[in-house]
């Protein structure tokens, strides 16, 4: 019997108004994250990765957006919470690391203040204790050299990699139950990326944090996650154990995505023709149909294909696999 999930997203739909109707940028997305589990979200830009992350954090502004479904965090629906409830949750039990550490930090405050702030607010510590804890986080948690001096510096005095360490320290300062990492190493060099990945991996396994790891890098996801979902135009097209999905992809989109990645010994890439549809342009039925070389008549009809289980490790949203395996 599996433990209750920390995050349980059910049938999440996020729509924006287009010509007197709503176009759903995220459509019927369901997934769960349990303690100490790292779930990867892989997709290209426009796939809705960040929108899902924002919805989980309760950041989607509605209106203009229309959000249906539920986002259960330890059984409570984030979408139904008021601002006070959300504020108590965010930064404490629910943390996020953003892609760009420069815009995630306030340029006019010392980094120590920014790391100490959530400790003061959520753990009720006084300023002096919070500062001491910030120094401790710098020194022992995220590994910033000469921590005592560095906490007094401003964000611009840090390199990109060091800034990301500060942001991670900020996110994990209150030992969250769920961490959302939105492409945290996207803007970093590979050697620094490796350091940051090592850091995040070490911390989340030590704290047993549940992680939703958003990325567009196959290698990063493969190293960081156990399970993965592939997102295309706001829908989950495939999901399962990371090594199965990336080595034996079943959905035509996942297959195309993996063929597009430059590999050793490959002379020519086989990109997927066309581009990802945007708001208001989604086709009826399967959203990948116009770019799919296996499309059938049925793919153009509603409803869109649900996720079919094809093996113990994989689920695929494609009519080809209807009735492939039950149970």
Window contacting other proteins (CB under 8 A); options: 21-29, 63-71, 153-161, 280-288: 153-161
Q: Is 19 left (phi over 0), alpha (psi -120 to 50) or beta?
A: left
Using DSSP's 3-state secondary structure scheme, residue 43 falls into coil
Site string for other proteins, 262-281 (x = CB under 8 A): xxx-x-xxxxx--xx-----
CA angle in degrees (0–180, nearest 5) for 38-40-46: 150
CA angle in degrees (0–180, nearest 5) for 89-94-95: 125
Residue of 190, 303, 323, 327 that binds other proteins (CB under 8 A) = 190
- In this complex, which beta carbon is closest to other proteins, that of residue 62 or of residue 146? 146
Q: How many residues bind other proteins (CB under 8 A)?
A: 48
- In this complex, which beta carbon is closest to other proteins, that of residue 11 or of residue 103? 103
Using DSSP's 3-state secondary structure scheme, residue 254 falls into helix
Query: What's the CA gap between 60 and 42, in Å, rounded?
Result: 20
Work out whether 156 is an interface residue with other proteins (CB under 8 A).
Answer: no
Query: What's the CA gap between 123 and 121, in Å, rounded?
Result: 6
Instruction: Copy the structure tokens of residue 136.
Output: 């401790």
Q: Rounded to the nearest whole angstrom, what is the least distance from the CB of residue 191 to other proteins in the complex?
A: 4
Window contacting other proteins (CB under 8 A); options: 4-12, 54-62, 107-115, 194-202: 194-202
Q: Rounded to the nearest whole angstrom, what is the least distance from the CB of residue 198 to other proteins in the complex?
A: 4
Window contacting other proteins (CB under 8 A); options: 25-33, 86-94, 155-163, 293-301: 155-163
Q: Which of residues 59-118 bind other proteins (CB under 8 A)?
A: none
The kind and range of the H/E element at 168 are helix 160-172
Residue of 50, 114, 193, 314 that binds other proteins (CB under 8 A) = 193
Site string for other proteins, 229-248 (x = CB under 8 A): -------------xxx-xxx
Which residue, 96, 50, 92, 89, is CA-closest to 72? 89
Say if CB 7 and CB 73 are below 8 A apart.
yes
- In this complex, which beta carbon is closest to other proteins, that of residue 81 or of residue 192? 192
CA-to-CA dists, residue 54 to 5, 21, 181, 186, angstroms = 19, 22, 11, 18
Residue of 85, 146, 219, 280 that binds other proteins (CB under 8 A) = 219
Which residue, 232, 259, 255, is CA-closest to 245? 255
Window contacting other proteins (CB under 8 A); options: 1-9, 103-111, 116-124, 253-261: 253-261
Q: Which of residues 29-48 bind other proteins (CB under 8 A)?
A: 44-45
Q: Rounded to the nearest whole angstrom, what is the least distance from the CB of residue 130 to other proteins in the complex?
A: 28
Residue of 62, 76, 103, 226 that binds other proteins (CB under 8 A) = 226
- In this complex, which beta carbon is closest to other proteins, that of residue 58 or of residue 234? 234
Identify the sign of the CA torsion 280, 10, 63, 101. Answer: negative
Q: In 44-113, which ranges are E strands? A: 66-73, 76-77, 94-97
> Contact residues for other proteins (CB under 8 A)?
44-45, 159-162, 189-195, 197-198, 201-202, 216-220, 222-224, 226, 242-244, 246-248, 256-257, 259-264, 266, 268-272, 275-276
């Amino acid at each position: 019997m599996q433990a209750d999930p920390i995050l349980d997203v059910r049938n999440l739909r996020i729509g924006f108004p287009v010509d007197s109707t709503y176009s759903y940028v995220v459509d019927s997305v369901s997934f769960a994250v349990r303690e100490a589990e790292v779930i990867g979200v892989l997709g290209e830009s426009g796939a809705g990765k960040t929108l899902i992350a924002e919805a989980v954090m309760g950041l989607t502004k509605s209106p203009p957006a229309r959000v249906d479904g539920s986002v259960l965090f330890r059984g409570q629906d984030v979408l139904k919470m008021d601002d006070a409830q959300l504020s108590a949750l965010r930064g404490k039990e629910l943390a996020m690391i953003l892609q760009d550490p420069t815009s995630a930090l306030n340029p006019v405050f010392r980094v120590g203040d920014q790391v100490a702030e959530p400790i003061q607010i959520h753990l009720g510590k006084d300023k002096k204790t919070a500062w001491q804890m910030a120094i401790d986080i710098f020194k022992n948690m995220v590994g910033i050299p000469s921590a005592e001096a560095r906490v007094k510096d401003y964000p611009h005095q840090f390199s990109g990699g060091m800034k990301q360490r500060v942001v991670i320290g900020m996110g994990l300062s209150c030992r969250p139950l769920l961490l959302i990492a939105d492409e945290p190493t996207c803007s970093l060099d590979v050697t620094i990326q490796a350091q940051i990945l090592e850091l995040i991996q070490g911390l989340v396994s030590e704290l047993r944090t549940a992680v939703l790891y958003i990325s567009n890098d196959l290698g990063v996801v493969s190293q960081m996650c156990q399970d993965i979902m592939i997102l295309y135009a706001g829908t989950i097209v495939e999901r399962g154990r990371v090594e199965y999905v990336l080595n034996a992809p079943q959905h035509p989109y996942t297959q195309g995505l993996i063929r597009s990645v430059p590999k050793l010994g490959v002379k020519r890439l086989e990109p997927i023709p066309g581009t990802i549809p945007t708001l208001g342009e989604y086709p009826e039925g399967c959203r990948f149909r116009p770019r799919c070389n296996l499309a059938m008549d049925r793919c153009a009809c509603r409803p869109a294909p649900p996720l079919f289980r094809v093996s113990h490790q994989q689920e695929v949203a494609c009519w080809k696999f209807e009735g492939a395996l039950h149970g």
